Structure 1
C-alpha cells in the first residue's frame, strides 16, 4: 500500500508515483485494478487533492494508469515489449547523478552494486 514519508525531501507527488509503481511491480496492484479517486486517495494519505491529481496526471502521461471519464482510474496493462527511451534516458541521468554522489563520498563500486542488487531483490520479492 502506498505511503508518504512526510519527512522525506522527495516531493509528495513523486513518492505517490513511485509507491503506485512499486505496488504494481510487487503484484499488490494488477492490470485493470481501480485506484481510489483523487479525493479518496488524498483523504487516505492526508494530502492535498491537487498533489494527488498531479501524480495521477503524470502516471497517465507515462501510460502507467488510465482514466475513464465517469468510471474511474485504473492500472493499465504493462506492455513489456514497449520501452520508452525518453523515460529510460531520464532514469540513466538520475542513476549517473547517484553514482557521482556516491563516488564523492568514496563509496566503492562493489558496495553500490550491492545496493542495486538489494533494491532489485526487494522489489522482486526475492
Structure 2
C-alpha cells in the first residue's frame, strides 16, 4: 500500500504524506474514511511511530485529514483543503512544468489529453 524508500534523501514522513495524498486523490481513501492508527501503521511499515505522528500532524495542518479525539484520524473532505496560498503555489509549479513541456516540444493536445485522463472533472467540464 505504501512505497517508502529508506535510501532516499527525502524524509520518510514526507514520503508517507505523499502516499496518503495519492491515495486520497485516487479516491482509494475517501472523505471521512478512518486512517490506520499510528501504532498499527508503524508496526506494518516497521518505522518509528513518531514518524507517522509527524506525517499525520502535517497532513492535518495542511487540511488533508482531521482528528477526532479518542477515535482517530480521518480523511477530510476535499473542499476543506482549499487554501489560496497553496493554490497559488500549485499554479506556479504547473506554469513552470507546462512551460517546460511546451519548450521541449510536447504538443498542447497531448497536454490537454493528460489533463482529461487525470481528472474526471476535466472531462465533464469540456461539454
Instruction: Report if TM-score (shorter chain) is over 0.5.
Output: yes
Higher RCO structure, 1 or 2 (CA under 8 Å, sep 6+): 1
Larger Rg: 2
CA RMSD of aligned residues (A): 3.3
Q: Which residue of 2 aligns with 1:65?
A: 65
Q: Which residue of 1 aligns with 2:123?
A: none
- The unaligned stretches of length 5 or more in structure 2 are 121-127
Distance 1:84 1:68 in 2: 22
TM-score normalized by the length of structure 2: 0.70
User: 1:88 offset after TM fit, Å?
Assistant: 2.7
TM-score normalized by the length of structure 1: 0.71
CA displacement 1:50-100 (0-9 Å, x = unmatched): 1111110010011111111101111111118x631222344456667878x
CA contact (8 A) 1:65 1:76 kept: yes
